[in-house]
Amino acid sequence: MAVGEQSGTALPLLLPLGDYGLLVRFGAVLSDAANRRTIAFSRRLRLAPPEGVTEIAPNLVSVLLKYDPVRIDFERLAGQVRLLLSDVDADADVDARLPRMQHQIAITFGGSAGPDLVTVAEALRLTPAAFIAAHNAAPLRVLATGFAPGFVYCGFHPEALRLPRRTSVRPPVAPGSVLFAAGQTAIASTAIPTGWHVIGRTEFRNFDASADPPTQLREGDTVIFTALPS
Amino acid sequence: MTAIHLTRVSPSTTIQDRGRPGALQYGISASGPMDRGAFERALARLGRPSGEAIEITRAGIAFEVEEGPAETAFEGGAFSLEVNGALHPWPALLRLGSGDKVAVTPGPHGNYGYVAFDGVIDVPRVLGSRATNLVAGIGRSVLQAGDRLSLRPVVSQAAPVDLPPPASGDGPIRFLWGLHADLFASEIRQAFVARHFVISTRLDRMGVRLGDPAGVFSVAPSLSLVSDAIVPGDVQILGDGTPIVLMRDHQPTGGYPRIATVISADLDRFAQLRPGTELAFAPVSLHNARQLYLSSRAR
């Protein structure tokens, strides 16, 4: 692990992922700084994809570039990417110019929609009502899409709301389930098994295979959660 | 319209085309054929520059042509092929007519075969592709006995080409060290290359679990990693030490450590290995992997 990779402030690592992938990794652990750099760099790459790149997919702390090995090899692409990365101001410029969408998402907390609400609140030494208020208090950032169609990670909650995942994985939960763990809130758009705490459910579906694009939330967008009367 | 009626279908039979490259950003893996080379050879036999095929699994398929004629290509692995009770060699390109009954039954090797037609299998495109993605629940659901598939005339067609068969070989499966290779102790990395693994019975379009008789990963560390991008061929070690090679319908991201990635040029061959087959892994350089990629495309 490179020095500084923990904090997301070091030079990013450029790693081969198979024989047609280049991963630009801004940190080895999830940090606010590494995620912000990931989002800013992927937005810039999308505006002007490097020669030979066939797909750009941002993750929590890395951007995957798939490339066409017929058109370019890893070393040449890595060289281009290093040049882009050396111009750190350009990321900030693009980031400032591109709009960020804001989404309001209404959640039914607790009850059958959120079977873990009470245990989560207890673990954080809060009443369920106080937990819901704290959970919705500040807007969150969409950190990444991944794991399943339209599945988004949103963060970060303050340290006081940080809770590890459950020790066991639940069988598939309903689409729209609102999940909570590790300082984040995630929204499932399809039925998925999960080890996260299920705290509520939303009518909002971030995945529609017939729409173009099929998802509404993008990394970097702002999400404001509100509570529906349960 | 030309149509075929499926009378017997093996489990997990799907429709595949070149898939959905570009959909990872929405949380969807690309899908596509488990044996890409075989799929491409099926299309080439029909002179189709692009298209889709039925991807059959080991038990094969049986169907009746309701309204013909239909040029039909059979490719991938080695299956047994009968038309109206008469045996034909595999692979094949046959002109089938109305009422013809086709039976594909298990042959000596391979897990996946492709049946493609000179008409487009009339299922809707989802996100630009007709491929079924089982993990994402996208595209036509798994095919079943009793299904009827209509074939529409293709728009563009080229001269049929008979692509040479894949380079045969039962040598080691070649790989590049993976995203988390540095997190495995050097003894484990050495054992990964030195020891044999076995294809288990738990294999599907999402991944192939391997038996590890030498216990290479029995002492593998349980690591808490940030979820990161997955590519087909990634060799991931589950929490209980089970190695699993992730395939075309992989989850888009994952948090288990990955020691290796099978190179593109060997992934088709790997996909066709049947349960019980012993295999070994051999590392190659990225430069070597690219040369093999280019020559596998050029063949």
In this structure, is the dihedral angle defined by the CA atoms of residues A9, A11, A12 and A13, taken in order, positive or negative?
Answer: negative
**Predicted confidence (pLDDT) at residue A9 exceeds the cutoff of 90:** no
For residues A74 and A89, the model is more confident at: A74
Mean pLDDT for A39-51 is: 93
The predicted structure's pLDDT at residue B1: 77
Q: Spell out the domains of chain A, with CATH numbers in brackets.
A: 13-97 (3.30.1360.40), 102-228 (2.40.100.10)
CB contact under 8 A, B227 and A28: no
The pLDDT-based confidence of A49 (bands split at 50, 70, 90) is very high
What is the DSSP annotation of A155-217? Answer: E---GGG--PPPSSPEEEEPTTEEEEETTEEEE-SS-EEESSEEEEEES--S--TTSSSS-S-
CB-CB neighbors (< 8 A) of A150 in chain B: 26-27
Nearest alpha-carbon partner for A23 in B228, B293, B265, B289? B228
A148 touches B at CB < 8 Å: yes
Using a 10 angstrom Cβ sphere, with 0-12 exposed, 13-18 middle and 19 or more buried, the burial of residue B171 is exposed
CA distance A178 to A214: 19
* Chain A residues 54-113 with CB within 8 Å of chain B: 54-62, 64, 66, 69-70, 73-74
**How many Cβ atoms are within 10 Å of A87's Cβ, its own excluded?**
10
Q: Output the CA angle B144-B14-B51, nearest 5 degrees.
A: 130
pLDDT digits (tens, 9 = 90+) for A75-112: 999 999 999 999 878 878 887 787 889 999 999 999 99
> From CA B200, how far away is CA A186, in angstroms rounded?
34
Q: What is the pLDDT of residues A193-205, one digit of tens each?
A: 999 999 999 999 9
**Encoding tokens for residue A101?**
């969408």
pLDDT over 90 (residue A17): yes
Tell me the pLDDT tens digit for each residue of A107-137: 999 999 999 999 999 999 999 999 999 999 9
Q: What is the pLDDT of residue A3?
A: 46
Domain ranges of chain B: 2-153, 173-298
Burial of B95 (0-12, 13-18, 19+ CB in 10 A): exposed
Three-state SS at B264: helix
CA distance A51 to chain B (A): 16
How far is the C-alpha of B159 from the C-alpha of A103, rounded, in Å? 52
Q: Is the peptide bond before A156 cis (omega within 30 degrees of 0)?
A: yes
Residue B135 has what DSSP assignment? Answer: T
d(Cα B206, Cα B184) in Å, to the nearest integer?
24
Locus of tokens 């994402």: B136
Nearest to A145 among B21, B25, B264 (CB): B25
Mark out the alpha helices in chain B (DSSP H runs): 36-46, 186-194, 264-271, 286-298
What is the helix (H) or strand (E) element at residue A228, kind and residue range? strand A222-228
Using left for φ > 0, alpha for ψ between -120 and 50, and beta otherwise, residue B232 falls in: beta
Could you say which residues of chain B have pLDDT below 50?
A: none
DSSP 3-state of B47: coil
Bin B235: left if φ > 0, else alpha if -120 < ψ < 50, else beta. beta
Q: Is the pLDDT of residue A6 over 70?
A: no
A19 to B293: CB separation less than 8 angstroms, yes or no? yes
Instruction: For residue B26, list chain A residues with Cβ-Cβ distance below 8 A.
Output: 145, 149-150, 207, 213-215
Q: How far is B220 from chain A (nearest CA, A)?
A: 18
Q: Which CATH superfamily is domain B173-298 in?
A: Cyclophilin-like (2.40.100.10)
User: In whole numbers, what is the pLDDT of chain A averaged over residues?
Assistant: 93
Contact A73/B176, CB-based, under 8 Å? no
- Contact list, A207 vs chain B (CB under 8 Å): 26-27
